[in-house]
Structure 1
Amino acid sequence: MRNWGRDTFISLRGLFILTGRYQEARYPLTYHILGYAGCLRHGLIPNLLDGGRKSRFNCRDAVWWWLYCVQSYVEEVPEGSAILQDKVSRIFPQDDSPPQPPGTVIRVFIMNPGMVLISRILSCVAYFPQDQPLADVIQEALTVHFQGLCFRERNAGREIDAHMTDRGFNNQIGVHPDTGFVFGGNTYNCGTWMDKMGSSDKAGLRGKPATPRDGSAVELVGLCKRSLKWLATLHEEGKFPHGSVTRGKRDGSRMTWTYRQWEQKIASSFEPVFFVSVHPSNKEPRPDLIHHRGIYKDTHGSGQPWADYQLRCNFPIAMVAAPEMFDPQHAWTALQKAEESLLGPLGMRTLDPEDWAYNGFYDNSNDSDDPKVAHGYNYHQGPEWVWPIGFFLRARLHFARVVGGESELRRVVAHTRSLLARHFTELQNSPWRGLPELTNKDGAYCKDSCRTQAWSMACLLEVLYDLNQYTVDASHRVVYTDLFFRFSQYLVGVVMTPPSWGWDCRSLSPRPTNMGSFMPVVPIGKPEPATTLGVLAREHSVPFRASDRPASIYNQP
């Protein structure tokens, strides 16, 4: 099954939780929170699901996005904390278990040092059901990371990846004891969303990842910090049964951190390690690699040291996940740098245009010997991806008020509205009624981009939701909420209003099979759709006509 764990959980909050589709977010029939939990192995959520049979555990980030969604479910869904006690049917109860059908009882051999035979150890047989509460699955994931694990992918070789070299199938995850940062990977694999593997023999790229991002990737540090803070609080409130993790050391001793200790270690380490100071400092380990100052590094401890200092679009994700981890002035400076260098019409450039590796035009069919672009090697080396702009805009909304008060927040809100107008124009003109995966340089059409992608829509829905929270003007809040409905009805056909928004909504028919015909979601007693939907575009001079939309959209049920 071509189902991506990472993409699923980047998309889940915007598409399911904010739209009120709580059961679909929770239950395993659609392989979401509980379904993927059942596939946990090596402390990781699979990248490629394959029905749970030959899942690939070759990404380090899906488990942190999964935890991001579990937290969102618990905090934003009525009685959401009940999910922590939901039973998870484990497909792989042990790391070496073959896939198990639901309800299987697992036989485990336990070494009992308390009884002495000739071998001085008695092997006992115990039976455990593979079903366990979600809270225990979460604890296992964090414990495995804290202990650290090196493993090799099953079926390594051309059967599962025609391009990767042998060393790329070797994976590692762990937690650095000095900083608390999660780390992993190597220069032969690519375990985050920037996962392009070279495949061109002519250009000498086969088996060479374009963006390994090994070491500690900035967004994973932020997502981990967020999860630890949340779990520590839940444990202190008596709502989560686990409050610490323990690792065995080579000398036989054991080390235990509470979740609060782990979270605080990350907090105290982050700024000194990741922020590239505006002014030269003798504390910077590789000043010779600095091109931009006043930014946050993309990684820490990469096998390619220069990659740590590249300006990319990932640090705003950490800002949204764990804003308290950032010095507000530093964060604002870095966001301004990102706006200057990375912000495109619809998405964020995936690499600084001044970087030697930058190329903003993605062509997967390029068969040249140019190592920058052959076989689309620059997939994440410049093209402008849509989903990261959601986190950039959300980070700006948060820090605008912190550093500049209400006046700066109003300015940023207005600018955010002008930027979103482009997305609504794109939405109207798209034959798929959706937002693309990416664009080429300066928003140019990319023939190899997916024309409509879940995480592009989901992350923009999260921006609209945040705009509603930050906006004090009631008339604007009406517009944002209505636009939220428009966005979501295009994608899913049916939207249930989250209780926190306080709006009623008409019942709608199920999702239409004809992608060109949609039934509108209209808040009762609110302005006509043609009026509110065009507000942003009209106010910011972006071409938009309500008549551009299919007439069927205006037909009421």
Structure 2
Amino acid sequence: MIDITFGPQVCGELASAATREWLVPDGLGGYAMGTVAGLRTRRYHGLLVVAGETPASRRVGLASLDPAVVHPSGARVRLGAHEWASGDVDPRGFELLERFDLTDGVPRWRWRIGDVVIERELATVHGRPCVAVVHRLVTGGPVRLELAAACTWRDAHGERRADGPTPRMDPVADGAVVEGSFRLSGPGWVPEGQWWLGAHHREEAARGLHPDEDLWYAGRFVGALDRPGDTVSVLAWAGDLAEEPPPGPEVVAAARARNRAVVAAAQPVDPVEATLVLAADAFVIGTGRGPDVVAGYPWFGAWSRDTMISYEGLFLCTGRADEGRELLRAYAATLSEGMCANTADTGRVEYNTVDGTLWFLHAVSRHVTVTGDTDLGAELLPGLRGVIDAHVAGTRFGIVVDPADGLLTQGAPGVALTWMDARVYGVPVTPRAGKPVEVNALWINGLAGLAELAEQAGQDAAGLWRLHDRAVSAFRERFPAPTGWLHDVVDAPAPAYPLGGAAVHDDDLLRPNQLLAWSLPYAPLDPDEPTLRRVAAGLLTPLGPRSLSPDAPEFVGRHRGGPAERDGAYHQGTVWPWLLGPFVDASRRAKLPVDELFVGIEAHLTEFGLGSVSETAEGLPPHRATGCPFQAWSVAELLRVRRVR
């Protein structure tokens, strides 16, 4: 894997160390997450964050475990880091860091206090909500190590304040149970019980959200580090509180071994690919219903569109086809009126996308093509044919094949059904009603893929091919625009008319959605160099294509501010790294060189979410990363198109 290591000049400067984040997932949708500096900059940061009924219904438990070194003389040096509502940063333990590294997915900090050097490593137990934090004396000593446990028990999207109930603390051997929900265990437990008021999260302040919370100082662990090699470990876990995890050093060793095995199973060809394979592993989780995909950390849960776009990269490129088969079966079971459920972070099952189902067709087709698993194709074929029938007849939100041209149209008041689905105060920013270009490319791709599955199963596919051929003919006639690229939407309601009005127009804004018309396996068009160069000139950045060309009046170059400002910019110029996948595919099909397209995004692997790829970036230079630091489809698409090389 690539080398992710920072020395004292990065570690000791908050502007650098507090903007680089690490993630250690638990395989269930929970995680430990923080910054190189050790400073909690988000309400989502913590050492034990536990997934609930859905991956997005997470709760923060152990917020931080702050080390302090006590010398024989009684001198005490604090190594933790907190920012407070007053603006103070205290303590400032990051100033004593001489090194941070992320090796085999395990973060490690190394503090130097004169001749005393202490390392901390952190790992989770895969498949269990449990974290181990291990401290080791490297040189110097003897010293005493104190570890202050700052706790809470709250929804990860909120905060808890001291004016509410005091957390319940139940003493148990070697520690305590907090709120009856998670347990702390380690040496020399000394209960305390007081509020730390006004812990500040600078990233939440930047996002226009409430930035402060109060933390409960539950107590401290105390252990001796007499000679080099001695360790002091603390464990925190939820679930079965009576079942103690293995000792901390064993948890760390097991995590390293598992992560190496995950990478080896995918047979990566270079360190970047190995890093992406391990990054992909974070998003594939186990649930009571089988495998699923977390769309992004730290705040997203499972979304079918994200899952299906990510499917090939997360499952087929990493040797996880067996898990993928199980996942596809589970999603097929959600089909209703020809639509795949878009499982939501709220925990409700919703049917509210026009493209999620079409991406599902694509995922099934790719699975059968790559693995040769024609049995799965035959098994799912009746449901997939039902998807086509429902789209031809018409289903929710005006989704229907237009009998006039065979293209797929969609739209209803107040909804945004494509992946550009942001809303501000309930109003879609880019409703894209009509016939979106990528939706119809996916429709054509899905018809051809399904026709091949039918033929492999010995079934008649003539009707599917007729639908396909008619849509292709109409696509080639309707979507090329006089501007030299493709229309983003044809037959869109004209701006002067309400949705459903008589007047329509063809939207020729330069957006990246058209890339799918050239990139999909059964794409309706063959890419040509001049068109791709025009698209690249207007959209391409080091981290992927923008969602809108900068010369458009609606372009927003900065993705920052409060929720309304950020959502308003989300698809109006913000960069989406996942779209680099379709751009590379289209470029390859046009016989254009692609190796240089990866340079910026590969460098990004050490800049934001360490070893991973962010959800978004700003449309204007220097293209500051935004959104989730760890995003499934960003990682999956980069991994997929790199593996083709």
Length-normalised TM-score, structure 2: 0.50
Residues 437, 50 of structure 1: alpha-carbon distance in 2 compared, 3 angstrom cutoff: closer
Contact residue 219 and residue 314 of structure 1 kept, 8 A = yes
Pairwise CA RMSD: 2.2
For structure 2, the residue ranges without an aligned partner over 5 or more in a row are: 1-53, 55-300, 495-503
What is aligned with 2:518? 319
Match of 1:394 among 585, 610, 615: 585
C-alpha distance 327-420 of structure 1, shift in aligned 2 (>3 A):
closer
Q: Is the 8 A contact 1:198 1:375 kept in 2?
A: no
Q: Which residue of 1 aligns with 2:303?
A: 4
2:223 is the counterpart of 1:223: no
SS at match of 2:556: coil
Q: How does 1:56-135 map to 2 (within 5 A)?
A: 56-77=350-371, 79-85=372-378, 133-135=379-381
Question: Given that residues 271 and 326 in structure 1 are in contact (C-alpha distance below 8 angstroms), is that contact kept between their aligned partners in structure 2?
Answer: yes
Mean CA deviation greater in 440-449 or 1-10: 440-449
Could you tell me whether the CA contact under 8 Å between 1:5 and 1:48 is conserved in 2? yes
Q: Which runs of 5+ in 1 are unaligned?
A: 86-132, 152-170, 200-206, 245-257, 278-292, 368-373, 401-411, 469-557
Matched, 1:332 2:551: no
Q: 1:193 maps to what in 2?
A: 419
8 Å CA contact 1:186, 1:303 repeated in 2: no
Residue 631 of structure 2 corresponds to which residue in structure 1? 453
CA distance in 2, matches of 1:19, 1:434: 15
Cα distance 1:351–1:324, how it changes in 2: closer, same or farther (>3 A)? closer
- 1:359-410: per-residue Cα shift (whole Å, max 9, x none)? 111125166xxxxxx353121000111101111111011112xxxxxxxxxx
Alpha carbons of structure 1 residues 422 and 358: separation in structure 2 relative to 1, 3 Å: same
Are 2:381 and 2:454, in contact at CA under 8 Å, matched by a contact in 1?
no
Structure 1 residues 275 and 436: alpha-carbon distance in aligned structure 2, compared to 1, 3 A threshold: same
> Structure 1 CA distance, aligned partners of 2:468 and 2:536?
29
Letter paired with 2:356: A
Q: Residue deviations 1:238-286, cap 9 Å, x none?
A: x154636xxxxxxxxxxxxx01111110121112100013xxxxxxxxx
Aligned-pair CA distance for 1:138: 0.6
Could you tell me how far apart the structure 1 residues matched to 2:600 and 2:453 are? 40
Q: Secondary structure at the match of 2:428?
A: coil
> Which of 338, 341, 349 in structure 2 is aligned with 1:55?
349
Structure 2: how far apart are the matches of 1:334 and 1:243? 33
Stretch of structure 1 that moved more, 17-26 or 62-71: 17-26
Whole-angstrom distance in 2 between the partners of 1:148 and 1:39? 18
**Contact persistence 1:231–1:240 (CA under 8 A):** no
Residues in 2 aligned to 1:447 and 1:461: alpha-carbon distance in whole angstroms = 19
- The Cα of 1:221 is off from its aligned counterpart by 1.1
CA distance in 1, matches of 2:599, 2:345: 38
1:159 equivalent in structure 2:
none
Residue 17 of structure 1 is aligned with which of 316, 320, 342? 316
Shift of residue 325, structure 1, vs aligned partner: 2.2
1:147 to 389, 393, 411: 393
Q: Give the counterpart of 1:269 among 444, 467, 474.
A: 474
- Distance change >3 Å, CA 50–CA 210, structure 1 → 2: closer
The answer for the alignment partner of 2:487 in structure 1 is: 297
Q: Is the 8 A contact 1:40 1:46 kept in 2?
A: yes
- Find the residue that maps to 2:641 and give its secondary structure: helix
User: What is the aligned partner in structure 2 of residue 43 from structure 1?
Assistant: 338
Question: Contact 1:135–1:241 (CA<8 Å) still a contact in 2?
Answer: no
Structure that is richer in helix per residue? 1
Q: Does 1:212 align with 2:212?
A: no
What is the Cα deviation at residue 444 of structure 1?
3.5
How many Å apart are 1:353 and its aligned residue?
1.0
State the AA in 1 paired with 2:428: P
Deviations 1:403-443 (A, max 9, x none): xxxxxxxxx32xx2222121221113345310111111245
Cα distance in structure 2, aligned partners of 1:141 and 1:55: 18
Match of 1:347 in 2: 544
**In 2: Cα distance, 1:23 partner to 1:443 partner:** 42
Q: How far 1:316 sits from its partner (Å)?
A: 0.8
Q: Report what 2:405 is aligned to.
A: 179
The residue number in structure 2 matching 1:513 is none
Distance 1:295 1:81 in 2: 37
The structure whose residues are more often strand, as a share, is 2
> Is 1:232 aligned to residue 232 of structure 2?
no
CA distance in 1, matches of 2:602, 2:549: 26
Larger Rg: 2
- Check the 8 A contact 1:295/1:333 in 2, yes or no: no
Equivalent residues of 2:361, 2:450 under 8 A apart: no
Normalised to the residue count of structure 1, the TM-score between the two structures is 0.57
The offset of 1:301, in angstroms, is 1.4
Deviations 1:282-316 (Å, cap 9, x if unpaired)? Answer: xxxxxxxxxxx111011111124567211100111
Judge conservation of contact 2:381–2:453 (CA < 8 Å) in 1: no
Q: Is the 8 A contact 1:386 1:456 kept in 2?
A: yes
Superposed displacement of residue 447, structure 1: 6.7
Q: Secondary structure at the match of 1:300?
A: strand
Aligned mates of 2:596, 2:616 — CA distance in 1: 19
Query: Is the CA contact (8 Å cut-off) linking 2:406 and 2:470 kept in structure 1?
Result: yes
Tell me: CA distance 1:80–1:259, structure 2 relative to 1, closer, same or farther (3 Å). Answer: same
Q: Is the 8 A contact 2:542 2:599 kept in 1?
A: no
- What is the identity percentage for the equivalent residue pairs of Structure 1 and Structure 2? 28
Give the 3 Å change call, closer, same or farther, for CA 260–460 of structure 1 in structure 2.
same
Aligned-residue offset at 1:448: 4.5
1:235 Cα offset (Å): 3.1
CA distance in structure 1 between the aligned counterparts of 2:595 and 2:566, rounded to whole angstroms: 37
**Alignment partner of 2:399: what SS?**
strand
Q: Which amino acid aligns with 2:610?
A: W
Distance across 2 between alignment mates of 1:261 and 1:274: 20
**How far apart, CA to CA, are the structure 1 residues paired with 2:349 and 2:484?**
40
Corresponding residue for residue 602 of structure 2: 424
Distance 1:216 1:317 in 2: 14
Label 1:440 to 1:243 Cα distance change in 2 as closer, same or farther (>3 A): same
Q: Distance in 1 between matches of 2:636 and 2:460?
A: 31
Cα distance change, pair 448–189 in 1 and its aligned pair in 2 (3 A): same
Distance in 2 of aligned mates of 1:265 and 1:389 = 29
Give the paired residue count. Answer: 337
Check whether the contact 1:190–1:196 (CA below 8 A) recurs between aligned residues: yes
